[in-house]
Chain A
């Protein structure tokens, strides 16, 4: 018997249910396994030494991480002295650098990050930071959709609209959104407005072009059928084009929402740092890298959970799509 079922190596063939589940689990398990190996197997990497007994080395403390060479130098110095008291020789175990916490530490941090009160009383708790980030994303993306979707649909429907909208949009989308940070702060102040503006700039121009392309892909026969049924102009857009592209539009929005998250970190750094980015930079400053990892993972989890919910919602809302 082969190691893999035949269907695994047949191009574009749907897998059986068990294979699907196993592979999905493996998709997460493999990176986790690699991370665990590097973290828990002492002879893999581990360039530092965690001091368990400082001996008589003045600058060692129990629990400090030192480079392996430095530690060995201090040990050698003491071994060179004849009759040195063994208690003076420092002891330690191999360890990874502070910026690579082990899985269990990050897992613990996922919980403690929420339960640990902020260092100063006027600083936000983690859940407050996260909620702030979600709001920034929401408003940035909301305004993108308010302007981007109608413009995209217009451009996809009328060639004239496409000519007047798309060339400039095409140019503008190459301007990196973060480059507008200073400008946004100058115009909109230091609080949330410039952050929302960055998310907007990062997603709006892409959205116009993607929505236009999606609209153009709508089956021409549907538009022509509508025309011969006496439907044109505004009601053509409302009754045929919009519902016709809605499933694909929904998928586009899911993809673009992912982009919005990538712009979030830059957006939150401009003006006064806020949200999850503030939390991450703050924790990095205290060298709480387990918290940093936990926060990054939280963004990932938030992103994938939103996407999964939207995907399920899409299937329910557009049952005719991709069927039959």
Chain B
């Protein structure tokens, strides 16, 4: 605290919320081994002969058991970044290293949870969770026992033999998460997994996810466009700039762990959100946009109408 107040010139606006406990925890994270290293990552897509640069020289490092959220305006390539780490897209140049190993193709060491429920509809919950395990060559009995433990962990024991179409959206995503985690990946990639859920269920799922993360050796790389979600979940937030996507800033979330139930209402939370807002939607451009977007609407209600004005 004293340090930051001394050189107030280049102080970060969020520094005043960083308590010694939070600072100490951040320091502890930084000395952990590196889980994911992204170096000078470039990616372009070609569409009808036009080359569109999506990611332009991304550099980013995460440590083990860190919770990273990626936010940014639409078109900043945050989903592409997750898909590149998963190996579902091929990079143009640069490096993606997971625990020192270069990523070349999809593999079970990087689990992924998609926004669209990607459970196999012809398999029961248990069979879905067992999928990766048996694929890795585990015997059926062992895989089944393990799957049942995972299902129990997320409270779906009653739905072991249910099929995905019989589950709610939140339940489906819980199964998708444990299906990925059962493979014991080094990183769990999540591409806007809760975007399709209603607010109440989303909050519940966020709490579930934090609980799972706390109890399992997993680094989470979570893509979202919801700033509340990012702040609530992340240790650090990777803010991307759009067109082309590059790192704008990496924000350390100045909130204590575990998150309190009323975290979303605290001053530090709101300050962080305001700061992120200014990064993701810089105020000047927003004004320009809103001027352009203003509708050129003509009054079409007669003055003597039953309800002449809505105000």
Point out residues on A near B: beta carbons under 8 Å: 219, 221-222, 224-232, 235, 239-240, 243-244, 246, 318-321, 323-324
Contact = CB atoms under 8 A, between A and B. Distances in A.
Nearest to B123: A243
Shortest 5 CB-CB distances between A and B: which pairs? A230-B108, A324-B165, A227-B106, A225-B118, A229-B132
27 contacts: A219-B116, A224-B112, A225-B112, A225-B176, A226-B120, A226-B131, A227-B87, A228-B108, A228-B110, A228-B111, A229-B132, A229-B135, A229-B179, A229-B180, A229-B183, A230-B135, A231-B131, A231-B132, A232-B105, A239-B135, A240-B120, A244-B120, A320-B121, A320-B164, A320-B165, A321-B121, A323-B165
Given A219-B118, A228-B88, A229-B179, 4 more contacts: A224-B86, A224-B118, A231-B135, A240-B120
Interface of B: 86-88, 105-108, 110-112, 114, 116-122, 131-132, 135-136, 163-166, 176, 179-180, 183, 189
A251 to B, nearest CB: 15
Contacts of A246: 122
A173 B68 CA distance: 54
B118 A232 contact: no
Contacts, number: 78
B110 A244 contact: no
B19 to A, nearest CB: 38
A240 B131 CA distance: 10
Nearest to A231: B135
Nearest to A223: B118
A224 B132 contact: no
A81 to B, nearest CB: 86
A243 to B, nearest CB: 5
A230 B136 contact: yes
A240 B119 CA distance: 11
B190 to A, nearest CB: 11
Contacts of A235: 135
A239 B131 contact: yes
Nearest to A246: B122
Contacts of B105: 232
Contact of B122 (A225, A227, A229, A320): A320
Nearest to A321: B121
Contacts of A319: 163
Contact of A318 (B87, B118, B122, B164): B122
A224 B88 contact: yes
A116 B106 CA distance: 68
Given A235-B135, A320-B163, A324-B166, A228 B120 contact: no
B80 to A, nearest CB: 13
Contact of A228 (B112, B119, B164): B112
Interface-central residue, A230, A239, A246, A321, by most chain B CB under 10 Å:
A230
B120 A230 contact: no
Contacts of A244: 120-122
Given A224-B114, A228-B106, A320-B165, A243 B135 contact: no
Contact of A243 (B116, B120, B180, B183): B120
Nearest to A243: B122
Contacts of B114: 221, 224-225
Contacts of A230: 106-108, 132, 135-136, 183
A242 B193 CA distance: 26
Contact of A222 (B106, B107, B118, B163): B118
A321 B116 CA distance: 17
Contacts of A226: 120, 131
